[in-house]
């Protein structure tokens, strides 16, 4: 398992475009272990389609792809108004190749083979650009989250969470006071393989509640029937 590296991430959804199965599996596995949601495209045409129908925070785009190469994908996405950062991957290390990638609309360039830690560092840098940097610590009532180390505590008592439990909690905390539906949670915390008919979100919410509410005087995660969930210190009428 790749060791966790502290970083600010806000329930990030990534589009990984890579046709080499071994490389794609390695990158996707590492990113998911970091609690990122990852969708995978195997060719350029699929990448353009997914970029058009889904909301992504970052694209990791290989240059050498079937159907359409990475440069063409990048140009088409940008022409369609796609604004998320694009990180290009390539085995070519010539300056002209890097310039071509940047000129097609990419934000950064990483040459294969690369160290996974460097990939994560480049991602962190790109993800900081489009939006304001989140505070290092977020507090809701007596619950605190350290967004760098992923440490969670309630009433000063540390709470151990899995990577996916933390990603779900962080997403709810960042949208505190707002109702978020299961579909939105699935898009930002899980990935394209998520089964819309699965009860996995409800299972994870139940786990989170058990951990957060142990020894606490009040519930923080509430259910809005037919709508979704809301994280708030205020009680909800008819809460489940």
pLDDT digits (tens, 9 = 90+) for 8-35: 444 789 999 999 999 999 999 999 988 8
- Give me the chain's average pLDDT, please: 83
Q: Which CATH architecture has domain 13-128?
A: 3-Layer(aba) Sandwich (3.40)
Highest mean pLDDT among 47-51, 197-201, 215-219: 47-51
Which range, 8-17, 51-60, 92-101, is most confident? 51-60
Residue 135 has a pLDDT of: 64
**What was the pLDDT predicted at 46?**
96
Quick one: CA torsion of 61, 120, 14, 131, rounded to 10 degrees?
A: -110
CATH topology agreement for domains 13-128 and 137-231: no
Domain assignments of the chain as residue spans, ordered by start:
13-128, 137-231
Whole-angstrom distance, CA of residue 160 vs CA of residue 99: 45
- Between strands 108-111 and 86-90, the pairing is parallel
* Assigned fold of 137-231: Arc Repressor Mutant, subunit A (1.10.10)
Three-class secondary structure of residue 175 per DSSP: coil
pLDDT digits (tens, 9 = 90+) for 128-158: 764 444 567 888 889 999 877 788 999 999 9
Instruction: Classify residue 180 by burial, with Cβ atoms within 10 Å: 0-12, 13-18, 19+.
Output: buried
Query: Could you tell me if 87 and 123 are in contact, meaning their C-beta atoms sit under 8 angstroms apart?
Result: yes
């Amino acid at each position: 398992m790749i060791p966790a590296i502290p970083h600010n991430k806000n329930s990030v959804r990534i589009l990984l475009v890579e046709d080499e199965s071994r490389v794609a599996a390695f990158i996707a596995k590492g990113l998911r272990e970091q609690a990122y949601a990852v969708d995978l495209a195997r060719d350029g045409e699929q990448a353009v389609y997914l970029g058009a129908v889904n909301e992504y925070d970052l694209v990791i785009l290989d240059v050498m792809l079937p159907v359409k190469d990475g440069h063409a994908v990048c140009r088409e996405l940008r022409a369609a108004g796609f604004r998320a950062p694009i990180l290009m991957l390539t085995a070519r290390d010539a300056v002209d190749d890097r310039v071509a990638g940047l000129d097609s609309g990419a934000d950064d360039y990483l040459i294969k083979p690369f160290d996974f830690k460097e990939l994560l560092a480049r991602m962190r840098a790109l993800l900081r650009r489009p939006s304001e940097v989140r505070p290092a610590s977020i507090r809701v009532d007596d619950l605190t989250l350290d967004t760098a180390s992923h440490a969670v505590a309630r009433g000063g008592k540390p709470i151990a969470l899995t990577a996916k439990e933390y990603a779900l909690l962080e997403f709810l905390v960042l949208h505190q006071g707002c109702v978020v539906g299961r579909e939105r949670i699935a898009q930002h915390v899980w990935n394209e393989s998520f089964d819309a008919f699965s009860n996995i979100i409800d299972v994870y919410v139940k786990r989170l509640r058990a951990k957060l509410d142990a020894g606490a005087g009040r519930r923080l995660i509430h259910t809005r029937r037919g709508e979704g969930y809301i994280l708030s210190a205020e009680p909800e009428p008819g809460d489940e």
